[in-house]
Amino acid sequence: MTQPVALITGAARRIGATIARQLCQQGYRVIIHCHHSTEAAELLADELNGLKPGSARVLQADLNNSQQVSELADQTLACWGQIDLLVNNASSFYPTPLEQSSDQQWDDLINSNLKAAYFLSAKLADALKQQQGNIINLVDIHAQRALPGYPIYSIAKAGLQMMTLSLAKELAPAIRVNGVAPGPILWPEQEAAVSPAEQDAILEKTLLQRAGTPEDIAETVLFLAGQHYITGQIIAVDGGKSLYSH
């Protein structure tokens, strides 16, 4: 059998890069999608190809651009002629206070977290069916419990959760569709950054009293990719954060 092929969106850095590394270690050929982080994506591909020659490629696309999303699907199939696993990991994350929300913020957060994932799944569905493949979506525990100050992001992730359930029905029995919902794994950057005191407050409301790691997410993706009788499920990898009572 040929090595399976995985496309991971937003895979140049952070959790996406860890997923790409873990998949490569487990025998996958990986397609590293990036938007702005092309240098980091190329460095990651060089790292993986140094360990396993011919195991990684980079594709660049703006997930806010419908044409580029369509081209990303075509370029994915042009890499190795097949796709076994689609990991919709790419995400924008920043606060959008209700009174200051803009159309641009709505489009950016909905497109990157939901719309691109939907149309990538649709475009790659036939190729995934040929491989009895998988789609795994990176959801968020805030898809179920809205994050204050982040209404558009929360709405987008709630849509991605329902997309996971809907596509599990639409694509059965040939393709399995599942989700992983991270809790406190990596602290956000830039305008979404949280102070050390805020980090401590979040972890105090997490049953395991500590942050998780990107490896926790990547291992759950690998688990779902290898399980042939699980579909339509979303696994929270959150240290019990979503169970914590207010």
CB 236 within 8 Å of CB 181: yes
State how far the alpha carbon of 137 is from the alpha carbons of 1, 52, 167, 175, 241, in Å: 26, 26, 11, 13, 19
pLDDT digits (tens, 9 = 90+) for 15-45: 999 999 999 999 999 999 999 999 999 999 9
pLDDT over threshold 70, residue 87: yes
Q: Which two tokens stand for residue 138?
A: 């990176």
pLDDT over threshold 90, residue 110: yes
| Mean pLDDT (whole number) for 211-224 | 97
Model-level pTM? Answer: 0.96
Q: What are phi and psi of 59, to 5 degrees?
A: -130, 135
Q: What is the pLDDT of residue 246?
A: 52
| Euclidean distance between CA atoms 246 and 240, whole angstroms | 13
- Other Cβ atoms less than 10 A from the Cβ of 219: the count is 16
Q: Is 153 a catalytic residue?
A: yes
Which has the higher per-residue pLDDT, 77 or 193? Answer: 77
- Name the average pLDDT for the chain: 95
Tell me the percentage of the chain whose pLDDT exceeds 70: 99
Q: What is the CATH number of domain 5-234?
A: 3.40.50.720
| Mean pLDDT (whole number) for 46-61 | 97
E strands within 139-233? 176-182
pLDDT over threshold 60, residue 1: no
CB 20 within 8 Å of CB 8: yes
**Ramachandran assignment for 46, one of left (phi > 0), alpha (psi -120 to 50 degrees), beta (any other):** alpha
Residue ranges per structural domain of the chain: 5-234
Q: What is the pLDDT of residue 133?
A: 98
Tell me the percentage of the chain whose pLDDT exceeds 90: 92
Catalytic residue among 28, 118, 150, 153, which?
A: 153
Q: Which of 181, 159, 182, 154 is nearest to 97 (CA)?
A: 154
pLDDT digits (tens, 9 = 90+) for 153-202: 999 999 999 999 999 999 999 999 999 999 999 887 777 788 899 999 99
pLDDT over threshold 70, residue 204: yes
Residue 111 pLDDT grade (very low, low, confident, very high; cuts 50, 70, 90):
very high
